[in-house]
Structure 1
Amino acid sequence: MPYCRLLIITFINVIFLTKAFSQSTTPSFLQLNASQNRWADSVFATLTPDERIGQLIMVSGYSNRKPTYEDSLVNLVRTYKLGGVVMFQGGPIRQAKLTNRLQALSTVPLLIAMDAEWGLAMRLDSTVRYPYQMTLGAMQGNDSLIYTMGANLAKQARRLGVHVNFAPSVDVNNNPNNPVINFRSFGEDKYAVARKALAYMRGMQDNHLLTSLKHFPGHGDTGTDSHYDLPLINKSRAQLDSLELYPFKQLINAGAAGVMIAHLSIPSLDTTRNRPSTLSPAIVTNLLKNELGFQGLIFSDAMNMKGVTKYFPSGQADELGLEAGMDVLEFTEDVPAAMAQIKQAIATGRMTQESLDARCLKVLRAKAWVGLNQYKPIVLDNLVNDLNPVSDDLLNRKLTEASLTVLKNTNNLLPLQRLDTLRIASVAIESDKVTAFQKMAANYTLVDHFNITSKTPDSTLAQVRDSLKNYNLILVDVHLNNIRPAVKYGLQSKTAGLVSELVATGKAVVTVFGNVYALDKLTFPADTVLASRNIEQARAIVMPYQLTTYAEELSAQLIFGAIGASGKLPVTVNQRFRVGDGLAIKPLGRLKYTIPEEVGIDSRYLMQQVDSLVNVGLAQKAFPGCVVQMAKDGKVIFHKAYGTHTYDASLGAEPKPTQLDDLFDMASVTKVSTSTPALMKLVDEGKFNLDGKMVDYLPWLKKSNKADLRWRDVLTHQARLKAWIAFWKDTKNEDDSWKPKTFKAERSGRYPIEVTDSLFEFKKYPKTIYQQIKDSPLNEKKEYVYSDLSFILYPQVVKRITKTNFEDYLKTNFYRPLGATTLTYHPRNFYSLNRIAPTEYDSLFRKTLIWGRVHDEGAAMLDGLSGHAGLFGTANDLMKLVEMYLQKGNYAGQQFISTKTMNEFTRYQFPELGNRRGLGFDKPSFKYSGNAPQSATKDSFGHSGFTGTFIWAEPAYNLAYVFLSNRVYPTRNNNRISELNTRTNVVEALYRAVKRGIQ
């Protein structure tokens, strides 16, 4: 970085931080109201000298141990009248019960503390886990989110009866080999560390949670873990002032409530050999209290750590800590020994009772500030739910998204574009199951998954290598299950080799879910034979910093362009990956997958409403199963599968639970998913005239009553066409046998069209169908009559104009570029029947269960391919098409259909005639009739399908909706789905949820 630029950035940081930290240096817990002060003074007056010492001691507490342990803890607290307990492992209900028990026997309410740097989940199950501080260090300009994290954590802690969080860590981690701080630091930039720690601290303290800055005077530049030895910080006082002490000074000036002293040997501050800083008057009293003016609570780091006990046995170390100037001893191992040593120190004059009394009073004032002057037991009812608010799900998503860092992006590969040109494989390394990353990637397009670990047999690896030759892009997600340098961040040598091998293909996008320093283990010197396998040779590199579901899902969404990236490396890994590195990536506009709260909707309300409506339908057997998907503002906020494929196995299909990726027969939704988009594109290209005549594009209609019908009338169902023709009935004799040249039970050259496994159609019979349409009479009156007939003909129109088969045209121009790869005709050719919902048992025509073949008889007789029925697909892929419509023909930066044409097709064409239709699309009735949601606006549009399908787009609220079911199973005579109005009522619930959020 040029020197001038560095000076400018430093100057800006200084100005910003000076303003940010300008606040009273007095911690707020020392600024009590009269009532709180009276309580602290009165309690103090009742305590004996020994009890005052007890208030300065915190012992450890575990809620996951046997009753005998709890009894011993209770006895210890009661016997020595201790001031507090620092809680460790367990669960929220167990900890709450233990806390209530301890508080009930304490004359003075206990100060309950936790080491919860990244949330209560650092210690407890069933609680919220926030990102590590190193992850947050990558965020740029989103410190308000860190404040919110602190505020939310404070509320959770207080709900659990916790009053102190030993956080934040303000250590500046400038040593990559630091075994104990590392990912717990915000990074190596002292300004960023101070700024982010300030936001975190204020969030907690503004919500009455005591904090403790750690690890004073700075634990970032050491390769020794103070849990196991005494680290040496061999820096000058000037160096410490310039770097390590900077964040502490700033946060102390901003009113920090507490500071934790580390177990460090720092000769420039205390020359006494092997004296840890926790026991150093020069560091605790002279530096922290006198020089820096800190008036808050001074906590020791855990007094059982080898950093202090290696040279000073338990008891003696506790006494020396108080003698050095600390207020609270955390994790005292031997309370009787500590009490004895402290009392002896008072007796011999090394400490005075008055100095301890002052510290005791400070602790009592802190207790009053957190509300212990009006102590109430923890309410157990609804505790776990209260500790897991939906708002924190959203916050975690935002924090993770803001931290994602792209370190390489060759030729702007990310976000991925032109999905139709990519053959994508995902390779999860060190995961033997399909990962959250892989599942999310599969939402965007066809992705084939491979999972390998360091234990995968060589024969399997050889098969994977051979398979990967068929792909031109490989998504490599590296799952590191450890974050500590002592174990190389969980990176096995074979794992590193696998990553390097995939990078060497020249096709890899690598995402490392783990400690950022692991990148160094995947970087090889340029002058070695491994240089070609250096991770730097990857086409793109994404760094999410840790292995969580949030990180996995959002990294995949970044790669596919649903979200952008703005993160920067908070530390220097090596010469290639340095602090501040990170490329800005803009989102491309594909669907984002998130929760309703991100768009201002209450997820519980929406879930309750949708579940209730769907469950009524299931209970009344309106349909055996369904999939519901909803999106707002381009964000999928609801995607849920209900019920089963069938009610029982009597017809040959098992009642398999419905899955999100199941394929359904779209029925008439085919009209707006195939014919309509094809015509819109042809209109854009000037190849199709809406006001032209049918004969213009279907010359064989010449001299028929259809020849002069105008396409605009045809597409709006007012061209006098018959509603439908039962084509199959003309193939039957009166005795139910087949007429000649209709069907045979076996396939042959003359009967190649497969209608069922044992029914094959004469090869020229489709021409008979077209002829029947040509010869059919017109209705007498020109009025709205919904008709299938013209849509049966659109594949011919498209083929005649484009010289391309209808399905190929759709897949090439729409489905593959959208990533909607399951949208297809003839799904049995591509997917297992287990993924396809069966429809009706056809007892009249086909005499079998219709499963994986089109339900509509006419489409079945056209080899399963028609413009009115026959399309299958998943709800997720269908939504991509709906979203493209909603966004005026644009999706992921590609304009599939012009805005002008979209507007034309989706507007009312003949409202003056009482015709509610657009061109191809259905629209709300002018008087509510149930065909659309009741709250639908005049600009909304969609379509329903006979098999129980429905789509809807609402521009006014930017809503997209898909409902897929197989309501015709086992018979079409079941019309309860319409009687209940399930499909439109479900989307109406979405409208209500949106309006509720706006109010």
Structure 2
Amino acid sequence: MKRLLFLFFLAFLLVQTSFAQQTTPPFLKNPNQRWVDSVFNSLTADERIAQLIMVAAHGYPNNPSRVIIDTTFTNPRVVAKYIKEYKVGGVIFFQGGPVQQAQLTNYYQSISKVPLLVAMDSEWGLAMRLDSSVRFPYQMTMGAIQGNDELIYTMGKLLAAQKRRLGVHINFAPSVDVNNNANNPVINFRSFGENPQKVYEKSYAYMKGMQDGGILSSLKHFPGHGDTGVDSHYDLPVIPHNRARLDSVELYPFRKLIEQGADGIMMAHLAIPVLDTAKNVPSTLSKPIVTGLLRDQLKFNGLIYSDAMNMKGLTKYFPNGLGDAKGLEAGMDVLEFSPNVPAAIAEIKKAVAEGRISQAEIDARVKKVLAAKAWVGLDKFTPIKTQNLIEDINDKQSELINRQLTENALTVLKNNDNVLPIKDLDKVSIASISLTDAPAITTVTKDGVIALGTRNETAFTGELTTFQKTLSLYANIDHYVIHPKTPDSLQGSIRAALKSYDIVLVGAHLNNIRPGTNYGITPTTAAWVKELAANGNSVITVFGNAYALNKLQDIGKAKGLVMAYQLTPFTEELSAQLIFGAIPAKGKLPVSVNTQFPYGAGIETPAIGRLKYTIPEEVGLDSKWLSFKIDSIANNAIALKAAPSMVVQLAKDGKVFYRKSYGTLIPNEGATNSPSLGIGGLYDFASVTKIAASTLALAKLHSEGKFNLDGTMKDYLPFLKKSNKADLVWRQVLTHQAGLKAFINFWRDCRKPNGKWKPRTFRWGKEAHGAYTVQITDSLWLHKKYHNKLFASLKNSALNEKKEYVYSDLSFMLYPQVVKNLTGIEFEEYLKSNVYRKIGANSLTFNPLRFNKLSQIAPTERDTFFRQTLVHGRVHDEAAAMLNGVSGHAGLFGNANDLMKVTQLFLQKGSYGGESFISEKTMNEFTRYQFPESRRGIGFDKPSRVYNGNAPKSASPQSYGHTGFTGIMIWNDPAYSLNYVFLSNRVYPTRDNNKLSSLNVRTAIMQVVYDGLGIK
């Protein structure tokens, strides 16, 4: 019965094959027949033969370290000779540089009687062959993508545009080999995987993208190179399978793609006894395979290309032009990489003379080649313009599709206890360790330790990888780097250190993807992976070939396992983002690794609402235009001394698309090259403290039912019961129209008429003395109980006659007391334990010198009237300084990225990182206009009802934010899901500098985004 079923299945497959649909390739539809006939009629018999030959060429690379191979027959003089004397029909370029290749192409085209078909073998983009160009993911990486093959189509179309810009007409891709042999030395990662249907679907997307982009494709390697253990570059592989197996696996994608209008197919150098019993005859030269199977049975009428005719799988048995003649006899159209053109033409002429191939067959193929040339525009050939060539072929859309392809491919294979995405950042200690094979130049202290800006500065030897740098955007992480030359003593220290962490994020950076090199796995990497996996607290990300999993002993014991498929900046960045839940995990293994990791394995993990980091194109903006506009505003502001330094960070839909710092740390201080503070520098937020600290805390308490906006000040501040502020309603207080004075110069009240400090106020000195313990500067100290007098002064201050809008700091000074009265927790600790640490906003702090070096903090003012020194690392606001640096109106410091986590929490209606901190109802209440006559929300500023420049011109009425005296601005626009953070220290060296406002720098930068999105 089984035998009958098998025979029935075999007969079914044969019938399906015999009656394959015939679909005309695009280049044969409505060709420029007049041009084809005219050119054809101008050719001699020998020149017609030469039109079927494609010779190899190299463009000299920009990087001299790139090796140029086979210089004997790819030397430009030799190539030029073949073109001028023999009239070959095309060239295939290999290693080189874009401009040099374009220049050579122009030269070769100028000396050719008939325009040349120019080809490249660029399966994963131009960077497969050229420096200074785009590298797309390997096909196996894309094989992991589930149900989003339009990304592959887009990649194919973008690659086509790059090739056309470079003067290239054919891409010898995609590889439609079904790779089901883990040890395949030549296909392997070049395949979409082991599932024939998926290989077909993804190959079709790639092929169609290139066709729609106006270039020719070439499916390879017919009839299927996916189950070989021999590299046909060096010998002739044998495929031992029966016909049923070939039809159901190897031939399946080819057959389906032919039905979809495939325009080119490349033959492989394979011996396949079931299709041709002739001994040592590669499929390239087999008439039963090329003509009998591909032409007659599968009905393919596009161009059939040879694989490189210099490969040992062919030349071992058919040297010196014999293979070229045999190839045409077998039915091929184009002989690619023919190493000896004179010998090839001579052998082909001999075959024609002996009747092994007819002149009519030659002529028909030449006309087909000419039709392809017309289709790619060679009937109207114009030389390549080399100006801006490198810039043009490195377009940002290609970077975007690279990111999207990578993001959709990343595959989670282990997720014990749902360790991914990592949550509860306030409860876990995290380390990362990158295992690389390239030692970095290091500076090691006498203790064997160097500081890399980590939480406890105990990172060991090595430059941080892109993976680690991206991880640091999300949490406090201590980083370690191991390479083969890391001393054993240092490795021992790292082992001991790693025992103290709850989670260890491991990056296995494999710098080779081929099985012949053991996938780039060094003994050091293998040993560390085995050890770390067994520890039970590791999440391992493998930046390498999926098959490498089978070579990493005990990797399946890891708590979490992420397969990234290859080592690129995109896989490193996005794997880190996946680990923290900024993006979901969607990928599935496209091949079977072993029983533990079979085909289709992959665990989906969710995105949990953390910031994602990307490029402007992902949110519909143009990088070049955006950078030009923002750079112009920012650099002009720096040049005009509106501020010495600034940071701009922008996000849309939770995607950070712009992060850049400008200016220097302390300009004009005698240093010839003052360092930049950088994107991670800390700034004094000034009044943005009101939002990022006070309003945040009150909103959280309000959503928990602990704070009533319509209650009175005495309800939460009993010391105000007998004051004129007792019955002020919080809703009016928080909108600055309860009648409170704008501010009180508390420090001035401490001076006598002669300028000396009053008793029990301030004292000058190098150290604290007695009751003078509140440090204001290095040499100025405040009496430890003076805050009581400050609050008494605030309590007794007069109210304005009218309850109208007057921006006031006074109530915000009291919110730390409100929070403590309601929670029993000090203000700063409440914020850190209930929000900041949980969302990974760990740079946000009061009194930052406790945790940061001075060089990490922007200086503020050279105070010449109160503190008599440069204010640097301590709060700029005088009243906040007198409150020991902790107040609800000023005093918070941090970097742009962590501040944006707070503002994104607001934009996401109170949620971030999978946790709800504030109810949506509360957020809606706090961010709406409160009174018809006021532009204020609760704590938040909002666009003026009559435009006055406090917000970008195009900001929606739903938008809200705040500014800070030191030059800070935050602004959210829920209508367009925009999030903006601007940091600067415009008060350096003096607060009298108002250029930042007069130039509208802050609002102008955000307006650029509105303009770019077409929002009026």
TM-score of Structure 1 vs Structure 2, range by shorter chain: over 0.9
Aligned twin of 2:519: 489
* Residue from 51, 54, 59 that aligns with 2:47: 51
Displacement after TM superposition at 1:323 (Å): 2.1
- Does residue 437 of structure 1 match 2:467? yes
Native 8 Å contact 1:23 1:255 kept in 2:
no
User: What does residue range 420-569 of structure 1 map to in structure 2 within 5 Å?
Assistant: 420-430=426-436, 432-523=462-553, 534-569=554-589
Displacement after TM superposition at 1:976 (Å): 0.6
Displacement after TM superposition at 1:24 (Å): 4.3
Determine the C-alpha separation between the residues in 2 that align with 1:654 and 1:472: 42
* Residue from 836, 856, 877 that aligns with 2:857: 836
Aligned twin of 1:29: 27
User: What does residue range 489-888 of structure 1 map to in structure 2 within 5 Å?
Assistant: 489-523=519-553, 534-650=554-670, 655-744=674-763, 745=765, 746-888=767-909
Displacement after TM superposition at 1:695 (Å): 2.1
Letter in 1 for 2:596: R
User: Residues 509-534 of structure 1, C-alpha deviation per residue, up to 9 Å, x if partnerless?
Assistant: 111011100000114xxxxxxxxxx1
Determine the C-alpha separation between the residues in 2 that align with 1:946 and 1:611: 23
Determine the C-alpha separation between the residues in 2 that align with 1:62 and 1:505: 50
Letter in 2 for 1:939: Q
Native 8 Å contact 1:723 1:787 kept in 2:
yes
Aligned twin of 2:341: 335
Aligned twin of 1:304: 310
Aligned twin of 2:218: 212
User: Residues 41-94 of structure 1, C-alpha deviation per residue, up to 9 Å, x if partnerless?
Assistant: 121111111111111111111011799932332122211111100011112111
Aligned twin of 1:921: 940
* CA RMSD, Structure 1 to Structure 2 (Å): 2.0
Native 8 Å contact 1:646 1:654 kept in 2:
no
Displacement after TM superposition at 1:702 (Å): 3.2
Letter in 1 for 2:189: F
Please give the secondary structure, in 2, of the residue aligned with 1:419: coil
Determine the C-alpha separation between the residues in 2 that align with 1:617 and 1:366: 55
Displacement after TM superposition at 1:693 (Å): 2.3
* Residue from 322, 326, 342 that aligns with 2:328: 322
Displacement after TM superposition at 1:476 (Å): 0.7
Native 8 Å contact 1:32 1:365 kept in 2:
no
Native 8 Å contact 2:22 2:300 kept in 1:
no
Determine the C-alpha separation between the residues in 1 that align with 2:823 and 2:214: 70
Aligned twin of 1:74: 80
Please give the secondary structure, in 2, of the residue aligned with 1:840: strand
User: Residues 688-736 of structure 1, C-alpha deviation per residue, up to 9 Å, x if partnerless?
Assistant: 2222222222222232222222222221112221111111122233443
Displacement after TM superposition at 1:653 (Å): 12
Please give the secondary structure, in 1, of the residue aligned with 2:434: strand
Determine the C-alpha separation between the residues in 1 that align with 2:543 and 2:750: 62
Displacement after TM superposition at 1:114 (Å): 0.6
Native 8 Å contact 2:677 2:855 kept in 1:
no
**Which one is further off, 409-418 or 489-498?**
409-418
Letter in 1 for 2:26: S
Letter in 2 for 1:993: G
Please give the secondary structure, in 1, of the residue aligned with 2:565: coil
Native 8 Å contact 2:681 2:858 kept in 1:
yes
Determine the C-alpha separation between the residues in 1 that align with 2:990 and 2:21: 74
Determine the C-alpha separation between the residues in 2 that align with 1:312 and 1:241: 28
Displacement after TM superposition at 1:282 (Å): 1.9
Displacement after TM superposition at 1:984 (Å): 1.3
User: Residues 239-270 of structure 1, C-alpha deviation per residue, up to 9 Å, x if partnerless?
Assistant: 21221111111112222111111111112222
Please give the secondary structure, in 2, of the residue aligned with 1:420: coil
Native 8 Å contact 1:304 1:314 kept in 2:
no
* Residue from 387, 392, 399 that aligns with 1:381: 387
Native 8 Å contact 1:663 1:872 kept in 2:
yes
Which ranges in structure 2 are unaligned for 5 or more consecutive residues?
Answer: 62-67, 439-461
CA 1:275 to 1:24, structure 2 compared with 1: closer, same or farther past 3 Å? closer
Letter in 1 for 2:35: W
Native 8 Å contact 2:165 2:384 kept in 1:
yes
Determine the C-alpha separation between the residues in 2 that align with 1:702 and 1:25: 88
Aligned twin of 1:147: 153
Determine the C-alpha separation between the residues in 1 that align with 2:923 and 2:744: 30
Determine the C-alpha separation between the residues in 2 that align with 1:536 and 1:638: 38
* Residue from 250, 255, 266 that aligns with 1:249: 255
Aligned twin of 1:93: 99
Letter in 2 for 1:644: T
Displacement after TM superposition at 1:388 (Å): 2.1
Displacement after TM superposition at 1:654 (Å): 7.4
User: Residues 110-161 of structure 1, C-alpha deviation per residue, up to 9 Å, x if partnerless?
Assistant: 0101101111111112222211111111111111111111122112211211
User: Residues 289-325 of structure 1, C-alpha deviation per residue, up to 9 Å, x if partnerless?
Assistant: 2222221111111111111112221322222222222
Native 8 Å contact 1:120 1:127 kept in 2:
yes
Please give the secondary structure, in 1, of the residue aligned with 2:183: coil
Native 8 Å contact 2:92 2:119 kept in 1:
yes
Letter in 2 for 1:57: I
User: Residues 937-989 of structure 1, C-alpha deviation per residue, up to 9 Å, x if partnerless?
Assistant: 22211111000001111111111111000000001010111111111121122
Determine the C-alpha separation between the residues in 2 that align with 1:230 and 1:416: 50
- Does residue 960 of structure 1 match 2:990? no
Determine the C-alpha separation between the residues in 1 that align with 2:507 and 2:964: 40
Determine the C-alpha separation between the residues in 2 that align with 1:53 and 1:102: 19
Determine the C-alpha separation between the residues in 1 that align with 2:603 and 2:940: 43
**Which one is further off, 41-50 or 70-79?**
70-79
**Which one is further off, 442-451 or 168-177?**
442-451
Native 8 Å contact 1:648 1:654 kept in 2:
no
Determine the C-alpha separation between the residues in 1 that align with 2:598 and 2:815: 58
Native 8 Å contact 1:653 1:838 kept in 2:
no
Determine the C-alpha separation between the residues in 2 that align with 1:577 and 1:866: 55
Aligned twin of 2:444: none
User: What does residue range 348-367 of structure 1 map to in structure 2 within 5 Å?
Assistant: 348-367=354-373
Determine the C-alpha separation between the residues in 2 that align with 1:360 and 1:107: 14
Determine the C-alpha separation between the residues in 2 that align with 1:905 and 1:286: 76
Determine the C-alpha separation between the residues in 1 that align with 2:931 and 2:524: 68
User: Residues 735-776 of structure 1, C-alpha deviation per residue, up to 9 Å, x if partnerless?
Assistant: 433332222312134222111111222111111211221222
TM-score, with length taken from structure 2: 0.93
Equivalent pairs counted in the alignment come to 967
- Does residue 157 of structure 1 match 2:163? yes
Displacement after TM superposition at 1:655 (Å): 2.8
User: Residues 371-404 of structure 1, C-alpha deviation per residue, up to 9 Å, x if partnerless?
Assistant: 2111111122222222122222211111111111
Native 8 Å contact 2:22 2:299 kept in 1:
no
Determine the C-alpha separation between the residues in 1 that align with 2:212 and 2:759: 86
TM-score, with length taken from structure 1: 0.94
Native 8 Å contact 1:22 1:254 kept in 2:
no
**Which one is further off, 945-954 or 332-341?**
332-341
Determine the C-alpha separation between the residues in 2 that align with 1:584 and 1:179: 31
Determine the C-alpha separation between the residues in 2 that align with 1:791 and 1:442: 32
